[in-house]
């Protein structure tokens, strides 16, 4: 460009220098016209752009958000109108307010944001309020008129409090103030609310149910209400509950005739002046099991099973199956005797009976929790039956007791069988017995053992063993305690090279527990023990308590599992439709081969298996489901163990329509005030007389528009260029120049 300019100027200068007959003034004029023309052409060739500025005014929109959730239908205004009625009246008043009426646009919001032009048709019907979603929809809407301010008419009962605060920050960043008007009273309205009902069986064998109700009763302190439990249309229990006016628990205990898993309903009586009618009732489920402690008692003394059986079955939680095996005869002949009849006329079957005797397989043996072997020939059992007995204790948490006699312990050569693993005493090679009366010596630490607590107090138990115990008539001699075993009672005056002779000993074996009772509990060595170990009013009361304690201690692992080998946990309180319900499943099983599954049965009987994820923190499993239907949902957990019975746990989850924001009727004015302050707006409790138009800001926003365009297409530049070239040409022609 610079070279071109230099060339043009040089040629022009040369041409005018040749025009020698022209005056200096004429040459300067022609030179000036040529320079201007060239300069203008070069300017246009450079294609410069221009920026135009245009300013104009535009109206801003004021969005009025009207809360249409169910809490707005509450009657807690001074004139007993609904919150919605007051809010609608205020919205109507501001629609006619001078200066801003033309800027208003009315929206309703609850679960979603909607525009409306008919206030008369607006009702408080949405199940919950999500202010954050309303703000997001408002800001993302395509609009011809920019948003200048937001007016909020609500009671502040939002389901998304934290997200609402974030939305207020978004409004602040956009320069949009929020003016909030709170409706409703910030005080809790009078109401009786059943917030939760959790029921369960108190003990695994008893039909008694313990129901814990979570109740809130603002405004009804000191009032009484009747709690009623039903199954279907059948009344099961009624109980008066004194209300405290604040959250409380009420405990109900009642008997249920329904075995297995059943659904129950509970309701609280209506109080005059309650604000809601449909939050006084709920449903719960209880899996009622008849899980007694099952004892298999085998006795070698003829006709002697009834005393111990009767003693144990005085506890309604215990159920005893008695077997016998004849002594003082050949094993072959002993196995042929099918049964005998005890003193109460009950049949007592032979241990070797093919159908009614000792269980022939593991599944049948697992029906029992404790096995008592009292003076039974080891030949009465098959090797498989002995192996199963060990497995019952070690792997399945059962209990085993060996009671003394001529065919027990070393005298019965049990040290040559796998049962030796279960005996807490060493009897290897010791076949001796002693027929001589003796008293017991109780080690000091043994008085506190659960088995030895035969009295109501520690002092009574101590006196019972030291003063009331009548003594034994003999015992099997054993070598010593095994490592890990605990001695509960010793021979009062006889010892061997290891110390005093052991009479009672216990030990933990695997998951289960075992006991050695080296004397006898029947006529013979134990005649006085079974008939005279008690008080003057209850001659064998201590005897019964001793065996009750022993069975419960031995079966502790099994009892715990009966009470809940699998447990399903879920949040206490109402579950609303649409919510995700978190679940936990815990199991006491340590079997790595056990398979745990969880199934959901909906109100329409559809079934779905829920995936379980292991929680490394406590060994439990977690799952969840989305409540897509209202009604009773059943959860069924199933634990399948190889070679074992299946274990089930069941729970009921009652899904109700979403009324979470009605859980409290208190208007949340604090939240509304905080949201308004965050945006630079203002809050007012209740409707004002008008909108604060001065605080709304300038509703006429001035906008400036800048537009960029090329310069060469302007008409006057083209005209100027033409004029310059035309003038120069005309002058040159007139002066006779080429």
Give me the pLDDT at residue 462, please. Answer: 95
| CA gap 509, 485 in Å, rounded | 9
DSSP 136-182: HHHHHS--SS-EEEEEEEE----S-HHHHHHHHHHHHHTT--EEEEE
pLDDT in tens, 618-636: 668 999 999 888 888 999 9
Highest mean pLDDT: which range of 506-515, 552-561, 699-708: 506-515
Largest pairwise CA distance in the chain: 168
Q: How many CB atoms lie within 10 A of CB 24?
A: 7
699 within some domain: yes
Residue 230, H or E segment: strand 224-231
Is 480 found in the same domain as 363?
Answer: yes
Give me the pLDDT at residue 485, please. Answer: 96
Is 270 found in the same domain as 214?
Answer: yes
28 within some domain: yes
Lowest mean pLDDT among 133-147, 476-490, 536-550, 696-710: 696-710
Q: Report residue 263's pLDDT band, with 50, 70 and 90 as the boundaries.
A: very high
Average pLDDT over residues 83-107: 81
Is 150 found in the same domain as 106?
Answer: yes
Is 575 found in the same domain as 453?
Answer: no
pLDDT of residue 80 exceeding 90, the answer is no
306 within some domain: no
Whole-prediction pTM: 0.60
Give me the pLDDT at residue 623, please. Answer: 92
Highest mean pLDDT: which range of 127-131, 328-332, 485-489: 485-489
575: domain CATH number is: 2.60.40.10
Domain end (from 244, 262, 288): 288
Is 606 found in the same domain as 493?
Answer: no
Average pLDDT over residues 121-125: 87
Is 160 found in the same domain as 19?
Answer: no
Is 72 found in the same domain as 15?
Answer: no
Q: Report residue 16's pLDDT band, with 50, 70 and 90 as the boundaries.
A: low
| CA gap 423, 413 in Å, rounded | 12
Is 256 found in the same domain as 135?
Answer: no
Query: Which residues constitute the domain of residue 233?
Result: 193-288
| CA gap 383, 334 in Å, rounded | 18
| Average pLDDT in the chain | 85
Share of residues in the chain with pLDDT > 90 (%): 44
The CA distances from residue 708 to 44, 49, 484, 595, in Å, are 16, 7, 96, 74
User: 633, 598, 626: which is closest to 612 by C-alpha?
Assistant: 598
Exposure class string for 346-373: b at 16+ Cβ within 10 A, else e: eebbbbbeeeebbbeebeebbebbbbbb
344 within some domain: no
Q: Report residue 639's pLDDT band, with 50, 70 and 90 as the boundaries.
A: confident
Q: Helix, strand, coil shares of the chain as percentages rounded to 5? A: 30, 35, 40
**3-class DSSP state for residue 681?**
coil
Rounded to 5°, the CA angle 623-629-632 comes to: 75
Give me the pLDDT at residue 713, please. Answer: 73
131: domain CATH number is: 3.40.50.410
Share of residues in the chain with pLDDT > 70 (%): 90
Average pLDDT over residues 128-153: 88
pLDDT in tens, 359-408: 999 989 999 999 999 999 999 999 999 999 999 999 889 999 999 999 99
| CA gap 695, 171 in Å, rounded | 16
Q: Answer with the residue of higher pLDDT: 13 or 536.
A: 536
Give me the pLDDT at residue 371, please. Answer: 98
pLDDT of residue 325 exceeding 70, the answer is yes
Q: Beta strand pairing status for 234-242 and 224-231?
A: antiparallel
330 within some domain: no
Average pLDDT over residues 187-215: 86
311 within some domain: no
Domain end (from 257, 288, 319): 288
Q: Beta strand pairing status for 49-59 and 621-626?
A: unpaired
301 within some domain: no
Give me the pLDDT at residue 715, please. Answer: 77
Contacts of 684 (CB under 8 A, 6+ apart): 179, 180, 181, 182
Q: Report residue 642's pLDDT band, with 50, 70 and 90 as the boundaries.
A: low
Alpha helix (H) residue ranges in 442-583:
458-463, 527-532, 541-554, 556-562
Q: How many CB atoms lie within 10 A of CB 111?
A: 17
Is 72 found in the same domain as 103?
Answer: yes
230: domain CATH number is: 2.60.40.150
Rounded to 5°, the CA angle 125-129-130 comes to: 145
Domains: count for the chain: 5
User: 618, 507, 587: which is closest to 554 by C-alpha?
Assistant: 507
Lowest mean pLDDT among 24-28, 154-158, 276-280, 489-493: 24-28
Give me the pLDDT at residue 562, please. Answer: 67
Q: DSSP E strands: which ranges in 244-369?
A: 248-255, 260-268, 281-288, 293-299, 318-324, 339-341, 347-350
Domain end (from 560, 584, 618): 560
pLDDT in tens, 142-162: 877 788 889 999 999 888 889
DSSP 645-673: --EEEEEEEEEE---GGGG-----HHHHH
In this structure, are residues 371 and 296 in contact, taking their beta carbons and an 8 Å threshold? yes
pLDDT in tens, 284-309: 999 887 778 999 999 988 778 888 99
pLDDT of residue 203 exceeding 70, the answer is yes
Is 123 found in the same domain as 9?
Answer: no
Average pLDDT over residues 636-644: 75
428: domain CATH number is: 3.40.50.880
Give me the pLDDT at residue 12, please. Answer: 54
The CA distances from residue 572 to 195, 201, 654, 694, in Å, are 8, 17, 11, 50
Q: Report residue 617's pLDDT band, with 50, 70 and 90 as the boundaries.
A: low
Is 552 found in the same domain as 492?
Answer: yes
Q: Report residue 648's pLDDT band, with 50, 70 and 90 as the boundaries.
A: confident
pLDDT of residue 344 exceeding 80, the answer is no
Torsion angle of the four alpha carbons 310, 475, 402, 320, in this order, in degrees rounded to the nearest 10: -10
pLDDT of residue 644 exceeding 60, the answer is no
Whether the CA torsion 540, 543, 547, 552 is positive or negative: it is positive
Is 43 found in the same domain as 64?
Answer: no
305 within some domain: no
User: 424, 430, 431: which is closest to 402 by C-alpha?
Assistant: 424
């Amino acid at each position: 460009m610079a070279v071109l300019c230099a060339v043009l100027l040089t040629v022009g200068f040369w041409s005018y220098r040749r025009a020698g007959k022209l005056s200096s003034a004429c040459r300067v004029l022609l030179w000036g016209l040529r320079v201007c023309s060239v300069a203008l052409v070069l300017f246009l060739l450079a294609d410069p752009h221009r920026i135009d500025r245009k300013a104009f005014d535009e109206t801003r929109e004021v969005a009025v958000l009207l809360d249409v959730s169910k809490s707005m239908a509450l009657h807690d205004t001074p004139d007993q109108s609904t919150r919605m009625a007051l809010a609608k009246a205020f919205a109507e008043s501001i629609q006619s307010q001078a200066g801003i009426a033309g800027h208003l646009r009315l929206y309703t919001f609850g679960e979603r944001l909607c525009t409306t032009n008919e206030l008369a048709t607006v009702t408080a019907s949405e199940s919950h309020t999500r202010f954050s979603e309303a703000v997001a929809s408002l800001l993302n809407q395509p609009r011809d008129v920019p948003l200048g301010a937001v007016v909020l008419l609500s009671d502040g009962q939002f389901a998304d409090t934290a997200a609402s605060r974030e939305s207020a920050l978004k409004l602040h960043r956009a320069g949009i103030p929020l003016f909030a008007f709170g409706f409703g009273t910030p005080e809790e309205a009078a109401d009786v609310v059943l917030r939760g009902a959790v029921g369960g069986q108190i003990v695994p064998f008893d039909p008694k149910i313990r129901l814990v109700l979570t109740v809130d009763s603002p405004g009804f302190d000191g009032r009484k209400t009747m709690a009623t439990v039903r199954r279907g249309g059948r009344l099961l229990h009624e109980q008066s509950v004194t209300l405290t006016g604040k959250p409380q628990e009420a405990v109900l205990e009642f008997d249920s005739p329904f075995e297995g898993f059943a659904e129950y309903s509970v309701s609280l009586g209506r109080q005059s002046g309650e604000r809601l009618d449909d939050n006084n009732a709920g449903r719960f489920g209880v899996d009622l099991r008849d899980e007694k402690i099952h004892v298999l008692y085998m006795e070698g003394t003829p006709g002697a099973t009834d005393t111990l059986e009767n003693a144990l079955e005085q506890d309604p939680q215990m159920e005893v199956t008695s077997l016998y095996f004849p002594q003082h005869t050949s094993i072959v002949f002993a196995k042929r005797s099918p049964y005998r009849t005890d003193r109460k006329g009950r049949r007592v079957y032979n241990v070797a009976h093919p159908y009614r005797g000792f269980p022939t397989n593991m599944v049948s043996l697992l029906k029992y929790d404790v096995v008592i072997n009292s003076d039974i020939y080891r030949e009465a059992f098959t090797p498989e039956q002995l192996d199963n007995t060990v497995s019952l204790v070690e792997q399945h948490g059962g209990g085993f007791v060996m009671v003394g006699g001529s065919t027990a312990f070393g005298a019965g050569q049990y040290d040559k069988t796998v049962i030796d693993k279960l005996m807490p005493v060493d009897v290897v090679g010791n076949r001796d017995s002693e027929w001589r009366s003796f008293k017991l010596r109780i080690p000091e630490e043994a008085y506190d053992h659960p088995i030895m607590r035969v009295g109501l107090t520690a002092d009574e138990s101590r006196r019972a063993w030291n003063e009331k115990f009548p003594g034994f008539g003999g015992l099997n001699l054993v070598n010593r305690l095994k490592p890990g075993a605990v001695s509960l009672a010793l021979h009062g005056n006889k010892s061997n090279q290891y110390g005093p002779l052991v009479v009672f000993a216990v030990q933990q074996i695997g998951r289960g527990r075992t006991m050695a009772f080296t004397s006898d509990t029947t006529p013979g060595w134990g005649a006085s023990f079974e008939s005279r170990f008690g008080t003057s009013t209850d001659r064998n009361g201590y005897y019964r308590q001793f065996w009750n304690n022993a069975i419960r201690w031995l079966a502790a692992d099994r009892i715990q599992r009966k009470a809940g080998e699998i447990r399903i946990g879920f949040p206490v309180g109402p579950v609303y439709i649409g919510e995700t319900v978190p679940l936990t499943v815990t199991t006491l099983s340590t079997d790595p081969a056990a398979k745990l599954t969880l199934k959901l049965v909906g109100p329409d009987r559809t079934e779905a298996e829920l995936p379980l994820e292991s929680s490394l923190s406590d060994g439990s499993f977690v799952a969840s489901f989305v409540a897509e239907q209202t009604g009773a949902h059943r959860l069924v957990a199933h634990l399948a163990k190889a070679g074992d019975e299946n274990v089930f746990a069941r729970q009921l989850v009652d899904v109700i329509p979403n009324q979470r924001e009605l859980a409290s009727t208190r208007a949340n004015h604090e939240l509304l005030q905080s949201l308004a302050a965050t945006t630079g707006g203002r809050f007012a409790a209740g409707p004002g007389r008008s909108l604060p138009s001065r605080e709304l800001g300038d509703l006429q926003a001035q906008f400036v528009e800048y537009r960029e365009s090329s310069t060469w297409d302007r008409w006057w530049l083209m005209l100027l260029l033409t004029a310059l070239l035309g003038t120069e040409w005309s002058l040159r022609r007139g002066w006779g120049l080429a």
